[in-house]
Amino acid sequence: MKLRYFSHSAFQLTTNSGTKILIDPFITGNPTSPVKSEEVSADYIILTHAHGDHLGDAFSIADKGKVTFICVNELAEYCKSKGYNAHNMHIGGGFNFDFGRVKFTIAHHGSQTPDNFYAGEPAGVIVSADGKNVYHTGDTGLFYDMKLIGEMTPIDYMLLPIGDNFTMGITDAVKAAQLTSPKVAIPMHYSTFPVIEADPHEFKKNVEVKGIKSRVLQFGEEIEL
């Protein structure tokens, strides 16, 4: 499986069978995005919550082909109201798709669409495919149940925000990685805008001191998991 980072919290997973899964595809209006939305396609789009910098280009990307949205119940209903296919889920629940398993976790944040539609609770998500478990925490503050998440599902790659202000900053993100104990911690949600300016290499240095491997992905970089 491959993981590509588009900057902010936007990622693409490509399974060994070729299935493309986008997570929080904020591209248009994202000053750090290395691609344009018309260059991106998907089979599935996972949304952690409905803020504009996460819902992003989801609908315009979905217009290009047959896409299924995967998100919490209220946000899935919102997607359906716009004419899209969606698989309704909720926090704590998991489901086996053709590419692998998806399970939603709690996240401490908010969720409302740009047109002020209540979109349910924000979430994190664990995607399990091709023998790897990838935990995208969504926008969240630090919470102790991250320890339980890591105990129940050994995490290979943890994608976690470090930008502070709206989410965890570097200090809390390091603690989150300690609690979850992933094999690799990858920072996200930083330096898109001045208010969330942060140094991912400072996070890498601080988390590796705690014995956790980290990797800073360049915007647009794709790696083999």
* Predicted confidence (pLDDT) per residue in 91-133, tens digit: 999 999 999 999 999 999 999 888 888 889 999 999 999 999 9
Query: Is the per-residue pLDDT at 84 higher than 90?
Result: yes
pLDDT of residue 211: 97
- pLDDT tens column, 146-185: 999 999 999 999 999 999 999 999 999 999 999 999 999 9
Q: In what order do the strands lie in the sheet with 101-106?
A: 94-96, 101-106, 123-129, 132-136, 157-161, 184-188, 213-214
Secondary structure, 3-state, the chain: CEEEEEECCEEEEECCCCCEEEECCCCCCCCCCCCCHHHCCCCEEECCCCCHHHHCCHHHHHCCCCCEEEEEHHHHHHHHHCCCEEEEECCCCEEECCCCEEEEEECCCCCECCCCCECCCCEEEEEEECCEEEEECCCCCCCCCHHHHHHHCCCCEEEEECECCCCCEHHHHHHHHHHHCCCEEEEECCCCCHHHCCCHHHHHHHHHHCCCEECCCCCCCEEEC
Q: Is residue 225 situated within a structural domain? A: no
The answer to the question of residue 198 being in a domain is yes
The CA distance from 167 to 87, in Å, is 27
Q: Give the count of beta carbons closer than 10 Å to the beta carbon of residue 28.
A: 12
- What integer pLDDT is reported at residue 119 of this predicted model? 85
Q: Can you give the CATH number for the domain in which 10 is found? A: 3.60.15.10
pLDDT at 117: 83
- Greater confidence (119 vs 25) lies with 25
| Whole-number average pLDDT of the chain | 97
Tell me the per-residue pLDDT of 34-70, one tens digit each, with 9 for 90 and over.
999 999 999 999 999 999 999 999 999 999 889 999 9
Backbone Cα Rg of the chain? 16
Domain membership of residue 223 (yes or no) is: no
Whether 221 is in a domain gets the answer: no
Is there a domain that residue 217 lies in?
Answer: no
Q: How confident is the model at residue 135 (pLDDT cuts 50, 70, 90)?
A: very high
**What is residue 201's predicted lDDT score, i.e. its pLDDT?**
98
The predicted pLDDT at position 114 comes to 84
> Is the separation of the CB atoms in 192 and 167 below 8 Å?
no
In a domain, 180, yes or no: yes
CA distances in angstroms from 15 to 3, 79, 80, 206, 210, listed in the order given: 9, 24, 26, 31, 31
77: containing domain: 2-212
Q: Total structural domains in the chain?
A: 1
Identify whether 196 is part of a domain: yes
Residues 137, 158: contact at Cβ < 8 Å?
Answer: yes
pLDDT exceeding 90 applies to what percent of the chain? 96
Identify whether 107 is part of a domain: yes
